[in-house]
Structure 1
Amino acid sequence: MNFLNIAFLTLTLVLSCSSESSGSNDTPIDLNLEITLVGANSNNPNGDGSGKIQVSASAQNAVRYAFRFDGEDLVESASGTIEHTFTKNGVNSYSIVAWAYSETGEFINKTVTVDVYRSDEEFATLVFSDEFEYEGSPDTQKWHHQVIPPNNGSWHNNELQHYTDRPENSFASNGTLKIHAIKEEYTASGSTKAYTSARLNSKYAFTYGRVEVRAKLPGSAGTWPAIWTLGANVNETGNYFGDQYGSVGWPLCGEIDIMEQTGWDKNSIISHFHWGDLNTQEYKDTGGETAVSNASTEFHIYSLEWDASSMKAYVDDTLVFELPNSSDKPYNHAHYLLLNIAMGGNLGGEVPANFTQDTFEIDYVRIYQ
């Protein structure tokens, strides 16, 4: 299910009426229009991309109504309520004319203008985003720092870092988020590590949608950056929304690696899937990779398109890997997003002795449904 309730934004438009009647006592008066942009909310003030609006007209002494949408044919409505779909893509301004008629044919009318968003794209509604247009620590309403290792003071995969919530390791500035890996001795959870970094978990879980992360990757050998998801039901210390415990372990929760990069090959990126078969509990994984020669010097868009039939991982417009979805995979329930740099470990490899620090820079995170 979607953890964000999509609201309906209602605009009540009360304008001066223009009357073209004989002025009898039957003349309708006080024509009011209420226009609802379907799916509108604070992120999508012009609607959810369907182009649909709902119109309700009311007036004293009126027994029927008629509407004209942006110069199209007149449409009558006895009740004064009607739904209309605009088909032009993008955000466009449209005029709506409403007439209210009395039993004897006297009428008044009113014209209003609305801005409506229409998109033919499958994923048109922005349900979660962070543009990082602020200074300092990541927005605590959107992100949780996972700092408690689940494995006796250490992280999985033989990683060499401690994750912290310090501003030295993650902060927003000049319109981007920086996740900063540093060579330094740091003690936490009863163990001392030679490196620190940050691991951010979104305080938002979603089922299906399009994830877009525009990012520039660290270029140093030994760094292992990742943009990925875990099932929100994962039983792991300090997971999404804070120190919660889910109902299943890894890999039964499912993992989607939208982007990860090894510590020894900075000219390509990997998209990979890990899961436990829901029938047999057997561990399975598969994925692919593609060349990205300038991932450390230029921003690229790393994205996932996920629905009930498939999951497709992209870098810019290049499909990296597609995995068919099915009922035996844990990809039909909510996942949450993670951003991090690990040091060393299974995909980080050897960290050079002269490593001092490097940065994973994220321009924005957007999730559409």
Structure 2
Amino acid sequence: MSIFNISLLSLLFALSCSSGDSDTATTPSNLTVDIALVGANENNPNGDGSGRVEITASANNAVRYAFRIGNGDQIESESGTLEHTFYQNGTNTYNIVVWAYSQSGSFINESYAVEVYRSDEAFATLVFSDEFESAGRPDGDKWHYQIIPPNNGSWHNGELQHYTDREDNSFVSDGTLKIKAKKEQYSYNGSTKEYTSARLNTKFAFTYGRVEVRAKLPSTAGTWPAIWTLGANVNETGNYFGDQYGSVGWPLCGEIDIMEQTGWDKNSTISHFHWGDLNTEEYMDDGGETAVANASGEYHIYSMEWDGNSIKTYVDDTLVFELPNTSNKPFNEEHYLILNVAIGGNLGGDVPTNFTEDTFEIDYVRIYQ
């Protein structure tokens, strides 16, 4: 990624400067602001078409900063950094106001005008994919089996299954990945469960992009299929990324449920977001649902578009939910993708006594940036 500081292009200029306190001893001074257009160079002075800008501010005596993009709300930042994406196509001029605050609350601010190029070809580069063309076990260079239960032999949310790395529970055949939930006694690490299934994590982490998963969902009550992400900094046991990089727990890592389906309603799907506020650590969640016709008999495309401003989830072309993305949410760091089928639990519900097995079938997984 090439970043060209627009101050070298004379594209930013100070329009105003003010102070909220006459006490010059504590008022910040020497406010310096760099606004970098992602991918800018001499041939593309207004950026690479992503519409992304990276803003860095510093000032003497400043303990925090704030930014306003256009007519939007003020965005707080202790570090003095902010990433923002503009979505209006073409080359457009935007106003950016930056504040620097002292401990006493006095401030200085400056306003800048910046020209940014945005192309509707965003998310055009394929950075990860699996078309599931090779029969047998899922590609070990792309997928990690998460089989170690974190809660004394059990998974979260009251789920009833053991996850395994056996081909009985996950395999590729006829051009699709099958994740199969089965009723069978299975023991792992001294714990015996009545059901088995599989949970596959990508060995690829990414920040921002478009995720597409074309899939058929299981039809049997009690099954809980999901396409979702966790922050790669999660410290969950047995997770490929957590084992290497884990530093925070859930929900501070952030969770994006692109698609979940309950065990009792097979005619709709859910998109939901869980996170811990990075400033207060307070648990937060939000989401929505949409009707999906014949989710088990036909393929549908479950997708997400994620950037620094928002996260949007879709079923085919239908928007399910849009969550504003802000600096106090853990959705500006790397996440990895998870595919699984749980049995029972909070969203699986009651499992019929005559349940034997059912399958979550995935035609492809594609991630674009």
Instruction: Tell me the TM-score normalized by structure 1.
Output: 0.68
SS at match of 1:288: strand
Report what 1:277 is aligned to.
277
Counterpart code for 1:346 = N
Mapped to 2, the partners of 1:251 and 1:307 lie a distance apart of: 20
SS at match of 2:346: helix
CA shift at 1:122, angstroms?
1.1
Counterpart code for 2:290 = T
Q: How many pairs align?
A: 256
Maintained 8 Å contact 1:290/1:320: yes
SS at match of 2:156: coil
Residue 368 in 1 paired to residue 353 in 2?
no
Maintained 8 Å contact 2:236/2:242: no
Mapped to 1, the partners of 2:255 and 2:120 lie a distance apart of: 29
Report what 2:259 is aligned to.
259
CA shift at 1:275, angstroms?
0.2
SS at match of 2:355: coil
SS at match of 2:323: strand
- Report sequence identity in percent: 82
Mapped to 1, the partners of 2:299 and 2:151 lie a distance apart of: 34
Maintained 8 Å contact 1:260/1:270: yes
Report what 2:294 is aligned to.
294
CA shift at 1:49, angstroms?
10
Mapped to 2, the partners of 1:242 and 1:166 lie a distance apart of: 22
Maintained 8 Å contact 1:308/1:326: yes
* Deviation sequence 1:339-361 (CA, Å, 0-9, x none): 00000000000000000000000
Listed as ranges, the matches of 1:336-347 within 5 Å are 336-347=336-347
Mapped to 2, the partners of 1:323 and 1:273 lie a distance apart of: 8
Report what 1:181 is aligned to.
181
* Deviation sequence 1:315-360 (CA, Å, 0-9, x none): 0000000000000000000000000000000000000000000000
Maintained 8 Å contact 2:232/2:241: no
Report what 2:305 is aligned to.
305
Residue 193 in 1 paired to residue 156 in 2?
no
Instruction: Tell me the TM-score normalized by structure 2.
Output: 0.68
Maintained 8 Å contact 1:302/1:315: yes
Mapped to 1, the partners of 2:224 and 2:368 lie a distance apart of: 27
* Deviation sequence 1:27-70 (CA, Å, 0-9, x none): xxxxxxxxxxxx9xxxxxxxx999xxxxxxxxxxxxxxxxxxxx
Report what 2:164 is aligned to.
164
Mapped to 2, the partners of 1:337 and 1:264 lie a distance apart of: 25
SS at match of 1:215: strand
Mapped to 2, the partners of 1:49 and 1:303 lie a distance apart of: 22
Mapped to 2, the partners of 1:138 and 1:146 lie a distance apart of: 13
Listed as ranges, the matches of 1:112-131 within 5 Å are 120-131=120-131
Mapped to 1, the partners of 2:313 and 2:126 lie a distance apart of: 19
Q: 1:213 to 1:151 in 2, by over 3 A?
A: same
Q: 1:242 to 1:325 in 2, by over 3 A?
A: closer
Counterpart code for 2:287 = G
Q: 1:285 to 1:242 in 2, by over 3 A?
A: closer
Mapped to 2, the partners of 1:159 and 1:272 lie a distance apart of: 18
Maintained 8 Å contact 2:234/2:242: no
Q: Which is higher, the Rg of structure 1 or of structure 2?
A: 1
Over the residues paired in the alignment, what is the CA RMSD in angstroms?
Answer: 1.7
SS at match of 1:152: coil
- For structure 1, the 5+ residue unaligned runs are 2-38, 40-47, 51-118
Maintained 8 Å contact 1:237/1:244: no
CA shift at 1:162, angstroms?
0.1
CA shift at 1:190, angstroms?
1.6
* Deviation sequence 1:137-170 (CA, Å, 0-9, x none): 0000000000000111100000000000000000
Counterpart code for 1:348 = G
Mapped to 1, the partners of 2:259 and 2:368 lie a distance apart of: 18
Maintained 8 Å contact 1:309/1:326: yes
CA shift at 1:241, angstroms?
4.5
CA shift at 1:245, angstroms?
5.4
Maintained 8 Å contact 2:260/2:271: yes
Mapped to 2, the partners of 1:234 and 1:165 lie a distance apart of: 21
Counterpart code for 2:217 = L
CA shift at 1:244, angstroms?
3.5
SS at match of 1:157: helix
Maintained 8 Å contact 2:228/2:259: yes
Report what 2:237 is aligned to.
237
Report what 1:142 is aligned to.
142
- For structure 2, the 5+ residue unaligned runs are 2-38, 40-47, 51-118
Report what 1:23 is aligned to.
none
SS at match of 2:251: coil
Maintained 8 Å contact 1:240/1:336: no
Counterpart code for 2:201 = N
Mapped to 1, the partners of 2:241 and 2:251 lie a distance apart of: 20
Maintained 8 Å contact 1:236/1:245: no
Report what 1:324 is aligned to.
324
Mapped to 1, the partners of 2:239 and 2:227 lie a distance apart of: 15
